[in-house]
Amino acid sequence: MKKYLFIGNWKMHKTLKETESYLVNFLEKLIDLELLDREIAIAPPFTALFLAKELVKNQPLKLVAQNSCWEEKGAFTGEISPFMLKELGVSLVILGHSERRHIFGETDEIIAKRVWGVYKFGLIPILCIGETLEERQAEKTLEVIESQLKEGLKYLKEVRGDDLVIAYEPVWAIGTGINATPSQAEEVQSFIRKKLAEIFSSEVAERIRILYGGSVTPENIEDLMKEPNIDGVLVGGASLEVEKFFKICSIKINKRTQVNTQISLPNYSNLPQEILEIPKKYRRLVIVGASPKSDRPSYIVMDYLLKQGFEVLPVNPAYKEILGQKTYPSLEEIPPEFKPEVIIIFRKSEEVLPVVERAIKVNPKVIWLQEGIYNKEAQSLAEKEGIKIIMNLCFKKVHMMGKKDKNF
């Protein structure tokens, strides 16, 4: 189960004495807090990490570092390595924070190397991304977010999802007392989730925790955490006070119901009942020409079938995964033990015949073709083999509905 994550980023605050006083008091409060659905962590300055490690030993409080180099050792004056951080009990590392980008001039390339290095050594990178006030006012927020996200993750080829964290921190909200509204944060974090699905897969994207950071307080945390794509918070100033940070970490989380943006197949009452009954008879389907784009007919149909409990395998040589399902480059590579009963084909008219010929070799019970596709030769071939072939199944209507009404 994906747990919510609450991180206190102390930045350049607290001496050893202050660190000890804080942690003793905070850990005492944690004793009575139910932590089944969440994880809590602190990011002290490097000078306090060893002391913090001793104080949190066998306690439900994780340690986070505020930065890291990408190498294990070497001539990197002023840097600290992931290997050294692991010795100090660190499990997560903040990277690409706006203060590193804008005060210390860290580039996307440097941040990408840091992310890769931390991940390589078995620590969890927390990639921070966010737009400035000028970029938001120029309506470049999503453009900036997409660029920082893709650049920061470019050296990570595969992740599980639970081994990566993204933190959205609008620069204009950090330390200003002005936080993004819950809806503003949700808009961006929903966008981030979609981009993560494109970079990795939808299944992996759902497992990645996306945090919000920027003037988080005990007063606004409850509303922020209601949003579907806010999986936790990266807290700055408010984390420096035991009482404030504990209030933030201990709130009851009541998620707002996420608006369903997927479209179900309409009930085509004008279609023959025989056709409408087909999904009830068969459970194993293959979709040729499946697309990862949510407004495409093949995506809508596949999403509907998966939600109804069907076994669905997508075929498309351009993608590794669609909707969490492994994608196969061709019909010939579908595992023989799967034995598909229905093959749905999304192809242009001139491409249908060779696909139907290959589909026949798989020996399904039914072949479906999307609306507007009619091929008499393909129909004859299928019927000769005793395979029912259905054409013009109105998928175009589904596509148009997807374009016009996302809440259908």
The pLDDT score that the predictor gives to residue 139 is 84
Residue 23 CA neighbour count, 13 Å, CB half:
28
Catalytic residue (one of 97, 99, 151, 186): 97
Whether residues 80 and 205 share a domain: the answer is yes
- Among 249, 283, 298, residue at a domain's last position: 249
**Residues 288 and 231 reside in one and the same domain:** no
Q: Are 218 and 95 contained in the same domain?
A: yes
Of 181, 216, 249, the position where a domain reaches its end is: 249
Are residues 315 and 205 part of one domain?
no
Domain presence at residue 268: no
Based on the fold, state whether residues 141 and 284 are members of the same structural domain.
no
Tens-place pLDDT, residues 140-167: 999 999 999 999 999 998 899 999 999 9
**Same domain for 321 and 173:** no
pLDDT at 12 over 60: yes
Q: Which one of 39, 99, 151, 169 is the catalytic residue?
A: 169
List of residues 6+ apart from 281 with CB closer than 8 A = 341, 365
pLDDT confidence band for 292 (50 / 70 / 90):
confident
- Whether 12 and 121 map to the same domain: the answer is yes
Residues 280 and 162 in one domain: no
Position 182: which residue type?
P
Q: Is residue 255 part of a domain?
A: no
Q: What is the pLDDT of residues 391-400, one digit of tens each?
A: 655 444 433 3
Q: Is 169 a catalytic residue?
A: yes
| Residue bearing the bigger pLDDT, 303 or 81 | 81
Q: Does residue 338 register a pLDDT over 80? A: yes
97 is an active site residue: yes
The string of pLDDT tens digits covering residues 314-331 is: 998 878 888 888 899 889
My answer on whether 280 and 365 are in the same domain is yes
User: DSSP labels for 248-287?
Assistant: HHTPPP-PPPPP--S-PPP--TTS-HHHHTHHHH--EEEE
Q: Quote the pLDDT of residue 316.
A: 87
The whole domain housing 332 covers 273-404
**256 in a domain, yes or no?**
no
CATH number, domain containing residue 102: 3.20.20.70
Asked if 291 and 242 sit in the same domain, the reply is no
Instruction: State yes or no: pLDDT of 239 exceeds 80.
Output: yes
218 plus 292 within the same structural domain: no
Number of domains in the chain: 2
List the single range of 47-51, 222-226, 256-260, 359-363 with lowest mean pLDDT. Answer: 256-260
Q: Assess whether 179 and 279 both reside in one domain.
A: no
Q: Tell me what pLDDT residue 258 has.
A: 54
Q: What is the mean pLDDT of the chain?
A: 86
How many CA atoms, within 13 angstroms, populate the side-chain half-sphere of residue 334? 27
Residues paired with residue 366 on neighbouring β-strands, in sequence order:
342, 388
